[in-house]
Amino acid sequence: MGTSFGRGGATTFQQDLANSDCIVIQGSNMAECHPVGFQWVMEAKARGAKLIHVDPRFTRTSALADVHVPLRAGTDIAFLGGIVHYVLQQEQFFRDYLLAYTNAPMIVSEKFADTEDLDGVFSGLDPESRSYDVETWQYEGAEVQAASGKRDQHWQRRTHAGRGEAHGSGGAEIGTEPKRDETLQHPRCVFQILKRHYARYTPEAVEQICGVPQEKFLQVCELLSENSGRERTSAFAYAVGWTQHTVGVQYIRTAAILQTLLGNIGRPGGGILALRGHASIQGSTDIPTLYNLLPGYIPMRHAHSWEDLATFVQGEAAEKGYWGNMESYVVSLLKAWWGPHATPENEFCFDYLPRLTGSHSTYETVMEQLKGTCEGYFLLGENPAVGSANAKMQRLGMANLDWLVVRDFSLIESATWWKDGPEIETGELSTDDIKTEVFFLPAAAHTEKDGSFTNTQRLLQWHHQAVEPEGDARSDLWFIYHLGRRIREKLTAAAADGTQKDADRERDRPVRELTWDYPVKGELAEPDAEAVLAEINGWNADAEPLSSYEQLKADGSTACGCWIYCGVYADGINQAARRKPGTEQNWVAPEWAWAWPLNRRILYNRASADPDGKPWSERKAYIWWDAEQEKWTGHDIPDFKATKPPDFQPEEGAKGPDALRGTDAFVMQADGKAWLYVPAGLTDGPLPTHYEPQESPFPNLLYRQQRNPVRQMMKHENNRFQPSDGQTGSEVFPFVVTTYRLTEHHTAGGMSRWQPYLSELQPEMFCEVSPELATERGLEHLEWATIVTARTAIEARVLVTDRMPSLRVQGRTVHQVGLPYHWGPNGLSTGDAANELASLSLDPNTHIQEVKALTCDIRPGRRPRGPQRIELVREYQQRAGITDETGTEV
Amino acid sequence: MGVRQWIEGWPVLRQWSDGDPSGRGAAAKSRVSDELAPRTREADKVVKSICPYCAVGCGQNVYVKQDKVTQIEGDPDSPVSRGRLCPKGSASLQLTTGSARQHQVLYRRPHGTDWETLDLDTAMDMIADRVIASRERGWQWEADGQRARRTMGFASLGGATLDNEENYLIKKLFTALGAIQIENQARV
Amino acid sequence: MTTAREATDPAAESGYTDHPPRMGFFTDTTVCIGCKACEVACKEWNAVPADGLDLTGMSYDNTVGLGANTWRHVAFIEQRKPLAAQDPGLHHDTDVLAMAEHGSATQPPEAGMTPTTPGSGDDFRWLMASDVCKHCTHAACLDVCPTGSLFRTEFGTVVVQEDICNGCGYCIPACPYGVIDQRPDDGRAWKCTLCYDRLGEGMEPACAKACPTDSIQFGPLDELRERAQQRVRQLHEAGVGEARLYGDDPDDGVGGDGAFFLLLDEPEVYGFPPDPVVTTRDLPSMWRHVGAAAATLLAGAAAAFLGAGKGR
Amino acid sequence: MTMSDGHGSLAARPAREATTGVNTGRRRGRRGEQPVVPDTQFTSYYGKPIINGPVWKSPDIPAYLFLGGLAGGSSLLAAGAQLTGRGRLAAVTKVGAFGAITLSLGALVHDLGRPARFLNMLRVFKPTSPMNMGSWLLAGYGPLAGGAAASAVTGKLPKAGAAATAGAALTGPAVAAYTAALVSDTAVPAWHDGHRELPYVFVGSGAAGAAGLGLLGARQGEESPARNLALFGTALELAAFKRMEKRLGMVAEPYRAGRAGLLVRAGETLAAAGAAGSVLGRRSRVARLLSGAALLAGSACTKWGVFEAGLTSAEDPKYTVVPQRERLLRQNHAGGGEAQRGNPAVPQSG
């Protein structure tokens, strides 16, 4: 969404779903995974809204829906592209909205060639390096970006791919003012390109690819169209059902295009709600524990000989919009980290930032561990031994470490694999031989520490400490603070004893000079979380808390740990801890906690009014221009400069926010518009295109190009890929697997499989199959089945159910196997981990693994024990003729 | 209790005196029932919190008595959740106070076959030494011929279940140490 | 027309003067998402023990039914019936007895698909319903309890007093709904108390409070009944002809339930008895027959001696 | 609510009810059509029982039922024997009654989840609870039976002994009969629905058992009342049982199926054989003893069989559902088909 609208966060908030006239839940099983948020969907239904659930399975969400559309896992782009086609062809789009707030009229470079022209790939593909040269995708007359001449293409792609698309903030720079055609007739305008691009996504194609009957598909199209426009709005909700694919980002992009065409962004009851799975997953990308980002979606540095702070900013910042002020954000961050040591003379310690060389995602890290380069590993509330794709690779990586620190509540699989992991049983590893030193440190619970979570709607909510943690349990704040304190003491001592080499002293300087003097409290010397929040919020030269990122300066007079969170500690008050009851304020509830940016609850809400600043309709009024008071007003805080009139035209040469017109509702975008077509910022194409998953039993019906040509793959003997349709051996893995969550458990189970009350509700790993598949493979209800991929074999109890439909696709029946992924061998409720089956094939933008659509075989009975388990997999590999090249073709 | 009191408290007699001749209501009420009170009433304090499971962000009220959490339930004030919780949120009390939680640092030495206990202070010191050593061994002033100023010696995974403040310090410390392999569940 | 019903006031009849209104549950199963928050919230509040790990294969229901350690139970029914509007007619004019000859139902091993409705085509729906103690107006468990452990509270609810119960087990087969049960390791009988302790403090029961979609609604029974009638009308207007209330009728065999339900299918599909009757309704007749039998015995014995003449 | 002064429908706070399962038009065409296969299957929830079956244990509760009947019948024999001067028979049945009731009580207490709280049975006086009534009854009968037995054994206080004997004889029939109400006053179909006949089955069985005891313990020549009682009890039991089965229809199936059926048949056979043997073999001491034993065993088997049948009928939901469905249908027909409960076409509103 970052690339489409400017910020990757949910455009709306859960309560606003109640205002929708139609809600499409796709790639999410909201009733099961977000039951309490689902109450707002039910409210909408109570007001007459229609609920559509698009999902391979019939879930608890489907049970409450007006329409359930079962589709083949991994074909969402074809389905949504079909709706885009319908909306364009039937002229159901919201024309006034389109002209005012989107890049539909922009004219694209004549060098651009679409998948229509190149049979499934875009112009600029370099098959050697599996990457696109994105220059041809630009608007006419625009350059890729200001610094492009100086930057080497490879790193340029990396940096830009890194920004925004994951969950964050910020569209890419597009250069000069693009040409427009207000009639939308120019053959190279975005609108026409879009029309051509989706021309072949017809209802017939959708039926063939997704297995959705045309009648049902058209029903969805009609419902969505009927419920969008001036008077009505529709909302989309998605979750990891979309992101966990080799084309995950493009799934979301398709929904963004659709919602933009229908005029549903920035308006009440509209928008796209990303449903995150962890308490603070939004927060952990905003303040990223991610390799490629710095706080506030500032990209990490890449290794370039020439780069200094100025060129970095020049390369990354935009001319127009709020990314135009990026230098202030970077400098303020550096000031927050290195305080007085960060000076204009030393570029505010810009050199202290480590540099990237390519991707360093968790899956590359595993490769580094196997190589031996990465010898130490912290696991902070995460369980990759069952929770990550191809869990075996994760364990093998850990078995090659020198040391491992696991911080969790209980002895999760990632802490005990060295004595009871699957490889011990198969004989691939032996406990005696494993050199890894393992530290298990008990973690404090949320009731035992202060701090803030950022929820799925960008809302920072503070939780207060209720009691002290028991025994050795400590918060991660305590752990990281005291670890840092000890390391700093040791390095300071080393520097002081006079024997240290200069280079080493220089190496340690960023650590020694780091601002790390947080106040501690209580017997346990717990750092004061509010003091950390105050640093995140930032302060000015007089140490006064800032209230808005507009106050940030590039001269070093302000410090701010995360610019998008600036304002959370305005007036020295913890705004995230505000708890004015919802019943005592309006339905937007602006005085409950604090949302980034600047407490705005619906993003781009300028678009809820027409270009003149009047609500599109009374029914859907949200923010409007009050001519008397000369400011924007309404139910929410305007996501726009409050005093900028609708007819504002920037002066020639204006930069940053000042360059935004009064109608540029998408204030983070370099042109102020929602992007139907993404000229820059994505690695795998400016428009979403249907590709088959890495492993698919079907050919790509639309193009000769079978799979995303730039998907990312990890080659390893334990990460073999399977042949897809048309290749010999594909019949060995004839079924589609999809993985998912259940209400009763949480992610990899670390917080649920140990709880008796939750475990008894879903006591054991199971797989779900249709009665047809059960008959075909002789599977018995409640008996065991073994599921095999080229990676491994797992076992599960069988549930035979109509909830897992077999679909008719391309004239044949495709059976699907459903696997919840919560289990592992430890805890009360146990079973094999579904993630063992997945391969490491990743979305090229986000590096998220594809676990929502794989192929497999399923057979009755338990899996073999010991070395025979490996034998079985090897036998399958041989039968399918799998080599290290299989499935890796472009 | 005196005999007289006992006799007077005998429900058979109260059936006739208390207007409950069938003995199915007021007369049958026991002393314990009479004095029944919800344990939340006994709480010393009610602490405002947020559910730690998914990202809906439900409000929770944490009831504390004598420094022990005695009950966790939905916070009706929250405009997001309106006091409601899912089964996981409802199991927060078991999550935070249940017997499944470890409270002791455990250590497995290289090639060891079982856990050993370790005191927290020693563990922290050992970890700090490990970090320093691995950072040094994995240090790269340059990568691919370019200045990199980084270490590939250690990595970190996790954060989506942590507080923003915790993530902030993790990113800050590890970046200052030169580590780049910092990841979380957002990708998993 | 709904409020005009004359309902008995069980609290008043049980010696409570000036008592609060009768409180109860209205469980609207049409908005239930089967999340089981009610089950967990109930267990957390009441410290009910976990009930063991058993994958039953009964759809997503792994707690099977109400019992000593399950005071809220969510039923899951997979049916080959359309998600939506139904033909409203019922077809019970066939010989149910003859059908019963074929056996009652499919056992769990064959019941991945509940075979309740063979249906046709692609139709499919998934019913979910949270069951609980009904807190009957005429409660058999309460009637038969020999110790007065089970008693009627001032809220009109039925509660086991754990300081009194001696584990005689009589209440268990007496309940027409299969609610109450004995906890083997403890010996006593347990069931939903409608959170009696919370009610006293003006708090709502734990399950109703947690319920994410308000499928479980708590309140004065009169209000709930009215709300439920409205809801049924609304559903009928929306074309859901099969919506019906269960346990709301004060004239039924238990005098109406304190916890009643809105269902989308026959009660027995959810595991409810279709026409429950409090067993003690027949107790006067039972006592009469016992008396007559005793007299018969007395007479028989007398005759035995008369017929035998005098002994030696 | 600040929204109300704003614009349009956003002002309204969400209502509580949501519509579920409403179709969106396309399927509407189906309405009014009759489904191809009428929705007539007998249904249950995964074949799970509707009611929770008795947790009463075997042999505790069958023994309790059997011994209660034995005690009650024995007290009658004792009183008659005393009146008619059959000293040995009187002594044996007095001791037998007391022994039986003591064991019966012991079995009941043993079956309690909290035996130490046995006395809570007398905490209230509840005519709605046969077990409570039974407790009060036993509280009266037990000491009487005890007094009678004590006097008979020691030979002391003969007047008080006679009074106790008379008292026990008067309460004895109630002791033998009330347990029928106890099991009937449940939702167990085979028990509840048999509430009219079970008291006769129980007293008949109790009489036969007591007669068996009498035959075993009587001195030669004393036994004819016992023989008569055996004939009476057995006839009453068998007749009442037959009548019950006829009336109950399918609900009585458990009395004839499986383990329960085996026990009931054994009970009937033993009772009949005992009664017949006592008559036909009246001159043989061995035949008398065998007949007595058969009658006792028969009485135990019958009670045991009734107990087991109850468990079976609780186990299978059809015994709960089918009769109730039938009843609804009858009401429906009686009410002209309009007032059928649960008919969705007719909203439930008074």
Residue C83 shares a structural domain with residue C209: yes
Average the pLDDT over each of A2-16, A584-598, A639-653, B155-169 and give the range with the smallest value: A2-16
Chain C residue numbers with beta carbons less than 8 Å from the beta carbon of A800 are: 112-113
Residue C167 shares a structural domain with residue C62: yes
What is the structure's pLDDT at A846?
A: 64
What is the structure's pLDDT at A811?
A: 87
pLDDT average, residue stretch A86-92: 97
Query: In the listed set A596, A611, A639, which residue is the last one of a domain according to the structure?
Result: A596
Tens of pLDDT, residue by residue over A716-740, are 889 999 998 778 899 999 999 999 9
Distance from CA of B98 to the nearest CA of C (A): 11
Evaluated on CA atoms A553, A559, A563, A568, the torsion sign reads negative
Query: In the listed set A553, A581, A596, which residue is the last one of a domain according to the structure?
Result: A596
Q: Is A652 exposed, middle or buried (0-12, 13-18, 19+ CB in 10 A)?
A: exposed
* HSE of A319, CA atoms in CB hemisphere, 13 A: 18
CATH number at residue C113: 3.30.70.20
Interface of B with D in 13-32 (CB under 8 A): 15, 22-24, 27-28
Q: Answer whether residue B150 shows pLDDT above 60.
A: yes
Q: Answer whether residue A92 shows pLDDT above 70.
A: yes
Decide if D38 touches A, using CB distance below 8 A: no
SS3 B115: coil
The C-alpha angle with vertex D174 and arms to D170 and D179, in degrees rounded to 5, equals: 160
Inside any domain, residue C202: yes
Q: Does the bond joining A650 to the residue before it have cis omega, within 30 degrees of 0?
A: no
Q: Give CA–CA dist C284/C277, Å, rounded.
A: 14
Q: Answer whether residue C96 shows pLDDT above 50.
A: no
What is the structure's pLDDT at A768?
A: 96
If one counts the domains in chain C, the total is 2
| C138 annotated to bind ligand | no
Inside any domain, residue C12: no
Residue C153 shares a structural domain with residue C299: no
Distance from CA of D30 to the nearest CA of A (A): 16
pLDDT average, residue stretch C104-114: 34
Residue C236 banded pLDDT, cuts 50, 70, 90: very high
Q: Of all helices (H) and strands (E), which one includes residue B182?
A: strand B182-183
Select from B6, B10, B20, B22 the residue whose CB has the most chain D CBs within 10 Å, as the one to mutate to test that interface: B22
pLDDT average, residue stretch A829-842: 90
Reading the block at residue A529, the tokens are: 């979380």
Distance from CA of D129 to the nearest CA of B (A): 10
Chain B residue numbers with beta carbons less than 8 Å from the beta carbon of C149 are: 28, 30
Q: D38 and C94 in contact by Cβ < 8 A? A: yes
Inside any domain, residue C268: yes
As beta bridge partners, residue A849 has: A842
What is the structure's pLDDT at A384?
A: 94
How many Cβ atoms are within 10 Å of D155's Cβ, its own excluded?
A: 10
Inside any domain, residue A804: yes
Nearest CA in chain B to D13: B79
Amino acid letter, residue A27: G
Q: Give CA–CA dist B16/B29, Å, rounded.
A: 14
Distance from CA of B103 to the nearest CA of C (A): 22
Q: Give CA–CA dist B149/A710, Å, rounded.
A: 29
Q: Give CA–CA dist A332/A174, Å, rounded.
A: 25
Report the percentage of chain A scoring pLDDT > 70: 94
Average pLDDT value over all residues in chain A: 91
CA distances from C105 to C102, D44, D188 (A): 9, 6, 19
Distance from CA of B178 to the nearest CA of D (A): 51
Tens of pLDDT, residue by residue over D225-276, are 999 999 999 999 999 999 999 999 999 999 999 999 999 999 999 999 999 9
Q: Answer whether residue C113 shows pLDDT above 70.
A: no
| C81 annotated to bind ligand | no
Residue C211 shares a structural domain with residue C93: yes
CB C194 within 8 A of CB C23: yes
Backbone angles phi, psi at D245, to 5 degrees: -60, -40
Q: Answer whether residue D333 shows pLDDT above 90.
A: no
What is the structure's pLDDT at D40?
A: 35
Q: Answer whether residue A593 shows pLDDT above 90.
A: yes
Contacts of A780 (CB under 8 A, 6+ apart): A774, A798, A800, A860, C109
When CB atoms are compared, the residue of A45, A587, A620 closest to D3 is A587
Residues of D with CB under 8 A from a CB of B: 122-128
User: DSSP code of D28?
Assistant: G
When CB atoms are compared, the residue of B19, B20, B86 closest to C37 is B86
What is the structure's pLDDT at D234?
A: 98
What is the structure's pLDDT at A133?
A: 85
Residue C80 shares a structural domain with residue C153: yes
ipTM: 0.92
What is the structure's pLDDT at A306?
A: 72
Question: Which residue has better confidence, C93 or A552?
Answer: A552
What is the structure's pLDDT at D331?
A: 87
Tell me how far the alpha carbon of residue D141 is from its chain's centroid. Answer: 20
Tens of pLDDT, residue by residue over D120-179, are 999 999 999 999 999 999 999 999 999 999 999 999 999 999 999 999 999 999 999 999
Amino acid letter, residue A803: R
Q: Give CA–CA dist C46/B40, Å, rounded.
A: 12
CATH number at residue D294: 1.20.1630.10
What is the structure's pLDDT at D21?
A: 24
Decide if C88 touches A, using CB distance below 8 A: no
Tell me how far the alpha carbon of residue D229 is from its chain's centroid. Answer: 22
Chain A residue numbers with beta carbons less than 8 Å from the beta carbon of B113 are: 419, 431-432
D41-65 in b/e form (b: 16+ CB < 10 A) is bbbbbbbbbbbbbbbbeeebbbbbb
Residue A848 banded pLDDT, cuts 50, 70, 90: low
Decide if B55 touches A, using CB distance below 8 A: yes
Interface of B with A in 79-138 (CB under 8 A): 79-82, 84-92, 94-96, 98, 100-111, 113-115, 118-120, 123-132, 134, 136-138
Report the percentage of chain A scoring pLDDT > 90: 77
Q: Subunits touching A (CB < 8 Å, at least 3 pairs)?
A: B, C, D
What's the full length of chain B, in residues? 188
Q: Answer whether residue C97 shows pLDDT above 60.
A: no
CATH number at residue A809: 2.40.40.20
What is the structure's pLDDT at A174?
A: 57
| C165 annotated to bind ligand | yes
Chain C residue numbers with beta carbons less than 8 Å from the beta carbon of A823 are: none
Q: Answer whether residue A147 shows pLDDT above 80.
A: no
Average the pLDDT over each of A82-86, A299-303, D308-312 and give the range with the smallest value: A299-303
CB A352 within 8 A of CB A509: yes
CB A845 within 8 A of CB A131: no
Q: Answer whether residue C95 shows pLDDT above 70.
A: no
Q: C212 and A66 in contact by Cβ < 8 A? A: no
Domain span at residue A844? Answer: 712-879
Inside any domain, residue A831: yes
Query: In the listed set A578, A596, A614, which residue is the last one of a domain according to the structure?
Result: A596
If one counts the domains in chain D, the total is 1
Distance from CA of C33 to the nearest CA of A (A): 6
pLDDT average, residue stretch A761-782: 95
Inside any domain, residue D14: no
Decide if D24 touches A, using CB distance below 8 A: yes
Q: Of all helices (H) and strands (E), which one includes residue D105?
A: helix D87-111
Average the pLDDT over each of B180-184, C81-85, C105-109, D315-319 and give the range with the smallest value: C105-109
User: DSSP code of A139?
Assistant: B
Residue C307 shares a structural domain with residue C189: no
Inside any domain, residue A797: yes
Question: Which residue has better confidence, D237 or C106?
Answer: D237
Average the pLDDT over each of A110-119, A319-328, A455-464, B100-109 and give the range with the smallest value: A319-328
Report the percentage of chain B scoring pLDDT > 90: 87
pLDDT average, residue stretch B72-90: 98
Nearest CA in chain C to A59: C126
Reading the block at residue A528, the tokens are: 């004061």
Amino acid letter, residue C26: F
Distance from CA of A501 to the nearest CA of B (A): 13
Average the pLDDT over each of A174-188, A276-290, B164-178, C158-172 and give the range with the smallest value: A174-188
Inside any domain, residue D10: no
Q: C14 and B72 in contact by Cβ < 8 A? A: no
pLDDT average, residue stretch A550-562: 97
Average the pLDDT over each of B106-115, C88-97, C156-165 and give the range with the smallest value: C88-97
Domain span at residue C31? Answer: 21-277
Residue A844 banded pLDDT, cuts 50, 70, 90: confident
Distance from CA of A217 to the nearest CA of D (A): 12
Decide if A435 touches C, using CB distance below 8 A: no
Q: Answer whether residue B55 shows pLDDT above 70.
A: yes
Q: Answer whether residue D42 shows pLDDT above 70.
A: no
Decide if A758 touches C, using CB distance below 8 A: yes
SS3 C311: coil
CA distances from A683 to A160, A163, A374, D213, D320 (A): 8, 11, 28, 97, 66
Tens of pLDDT, residue by residue over A421-432, are 999 999 999 999
Residue C209 shares a structural domain with residue C256: yes
pLDDT average, residue stretch A97-118: 94
| C63 annotated to bind ligand | no
| C27 annotated to bind ligand | no
Q: Give CA–CA dist D194/D181, Å, rounded.
A: 10
Amino acid letter, residue A740: Y
pLDDT average, residue stretch A281-292: 92
Reading the block at residue A743, the tokens are: 């209400």
Select from D30, D43, D308, D326 the residue whose CB has the most chain C CBs within 10 Å, as the one to mutate to test that interface: D43
What is the structure's pLDDT at C257?
A: 97
Q: A755 and B91 in contact by Cβ < 8 A? A: yes
Chain A residue numbers with beta carbons less than 8 Å from the beta carbon of D9 are: 19, 47, 619
Q: Does the bond joining A597 to the residue before it have cis omega, within 30 degrees of 0?
A: yes
Q: A759 and C34 in contact by Cβ < 8 A? A: no
pLDDT average, residue stretch B168-188: 90
The DSSP code sequence of C57-100 is -BTTB-S-S-BTTBSEEEEEEEESS-SS---------S-HHHHH
Interface of C with B in 96-155 (CB under 8 A): 142-143, 148-154
Inside any domain, residue D227: yes
The DSSP code sequence of D19-31 is --S---STTGGGT
Angle, helices D158-184/D87-111, rounded to nearest 10 degrees: 40
CB A836 within 8 A of CB A391: yes
Residue A621 banded pLDDT, cuts 50, 70, 90: very high
If one counts the domains in chain A, the total is 2
Reading the block at residue C185, the tokens are: 């390791």
Residue C69 shares a structural domain with residue C204: yes
Amino acid letter, residue D148: A
Residue D335 banded pLDDT, cuts 50, 70, 90: low
Q: Give CA–CA dist A104/A693, Å, rounded.
A: 29
Nearest CA in chain C to D346: C244
Domain span at residue D160? Answer: 60-325
Decide if C55 touches D, using CB distance below 8 A: no
> Domains in chain B, please, with CATH?
3-34 (no CATH), 39-97 (2.20.25.90), 106-187 (no CATH)
Tens of pLDDT, residue by residue over A155-170, are 444 344 433 333 334 4
A597-621 in b/e form (b: 16+ CB < 10 A) is bbbbbbbbbbbbbbbebebbbebbb
Residue C265 shares a structural domain with residue C303: no
Inside any domain, residue A305: yes
Reading the block at residue D198, the tokens are: 């079970």
Q: Give CA–CA dist C175/C189, Å, rounded.
A: 12
CB C99 within 8 A of CB D42: yes
Question: Which residue has better confidence, B3 or A84?
Answer: A84
Inside any domain, residue C7: no
What is the structure's pLDDT at B27?
A: 95
Distance from CA of A273 to the nearest CA of D (A): 19
Tell me how far the alpha carbon of residue A710 is from its chain's centroid. Answer: 18
pLDDT average, residue stretch C76-87: 65
Chain A residue numbers with beta carbons less than 8 Å from the beta carbon of C58 are: none
| C197 annotated to bind ligand | no
Inside any domain, residue D34: no
Contacts of A367 (CB under 8 A, 6+ apart): A397, A714, A716
